[in-house]
Each structure stands twice: as C-alpha cells, then as structure tokens.
Chain A
C-alpha cells in the first residue's frame, strides 16, 4: 500500500541549507515527486525522480534511492519565500499520486 512518511516541521535561518527526508513503502513505484505548497494554495511542482541519484535544479536538489525507498529534497541558500510545506508524492501507478503529510519549513531572518 501507499505509506509515505515525512517529518513534520523544521525552522532554519536565511541562507542556510535544509534537507527534507521522505521514505516510502509503496507497490508499483513509478517515480517520486516533490512539491512546494504555501498555506491556502495548491502545490507547485519542484522535481521528479524516477532513477537513483541526485537531480539538481538551481537552489533545489532531489535525491532518490529506490532500493532504500528513500528520497530527500535539499534547499540551499534559504530565502524567506521558501517558508512553505514541502510534500513528497509517490507515483503509484496510472499517474496517481500518494502524498506524504508534508514538512513545514519556517525560514527566519
């Protein structure tokens, strides 16, 4: 079944680096997404990993290990606007996404 696990909240200062972890135990795995969601808004796409390794996109990077059922999102050079919830989601077949509860990141000056 779909079992996505994420820690719930973390605080970091501007300019810092944070790593958000996600573990999953899913059947029919077809890739892992990371989304950013500000309060009251819909999620916005950040990254997609289907193969093992690190994908880098500007200040955001995402890593996947399929054998370990593990992914992380790395946020570098934190900015105040990065305060949001970060959701990992597993594509478990037919492009259906199972989301974790999200990790709330609070950036402080």
Chain B
C-alpha cells in the first residue's frame, strides 16, 4: 500500500514554543492531506484538511492561528503548533488520500512541558 511518513516521531518542547511536524507521501502525490489528533484512549479527531496550493480547511473548534498548516507541494504538508501548551500534548497523525483510501502516517507524539 501507499506509504506516508511523519517527522519527528516524538518531540518534547517547552510551553510557549512552536513545533513543526512534517507529513510526506513517499510514493504518490497527494493534493489533499488530513491532520488528526488523538488523546489517550480517545478517538482520532479530524483537525483540518490540508489542500495543496491553497488554504487549509479547519474543523469547527480548531484554532487556525494556533495550528498552522502549509501544503506547499504534492508530497508534503506541515503542521506547526504555535505557542504550545501542556494541553496540546497529544498524538498527531496525518493521512493522505489515494482514490477512496486514506493512508495514515506513523504519528508524532508531542509532549509539552
């Protein structure tokens, strides 16, 4: 199946700093990627749809100024968590779509201290 990578796999940062997470489709081009967040023992929650060459579409309740998304090429989307706080600590997962299937990256575990 299609391969999606994320970098970094895990990151620890101090409160108030910003963290950038990369999502890459390795063997296919993806005009659309998705960013999810998962808290422990909770379901994946869609945060935003990342569109190549245009602005991201955010789900209700997700602050677009806090979670900056850039989809500059057909194989790369980035999520920047700005001014991170402990409550932003979570498992961030991206996915990329091929026809009607979505493939997920391995996830990035963010811990904000």
- B54 CB–A CB distance under 8 Å: no
Q: Contact string, B25-57, partner A, CB cutoff 8 A, digits 1/0?
A: 000000010100000001111100100000001
Residue count of chain B within 8 Å CB distance of chain A: 24
In the complex, chain A residues whose CB is within 8 Å of the CB of B45:
99
A-B contact count (CB 8 A): 55
Nearest B residue to A100 by beta-carbon distance?
B43
Would you call A42 and B43 a contact (CB within 8 A)?
no
In the complex, chain A residues whose CB is within 8 Å of the CB of B104:
35, 42-45
Choose one: B43, B59, B97; the contact of A87 (CB below 8 Å): B43
Query: Which residues in B have some Cβ–Cβ distance to A below 8 Å?
Result: 1, 32, 34, 42-46, 49, 57, 59, 91, 93, 95, 97, 100-107, 109
Query: Which residues in A have some Cβ–Cβ distance to B below 8 Å?
Result: 4, 31, 33, 35, 40-45, 48, 50, 87, 89, 91, 94-102
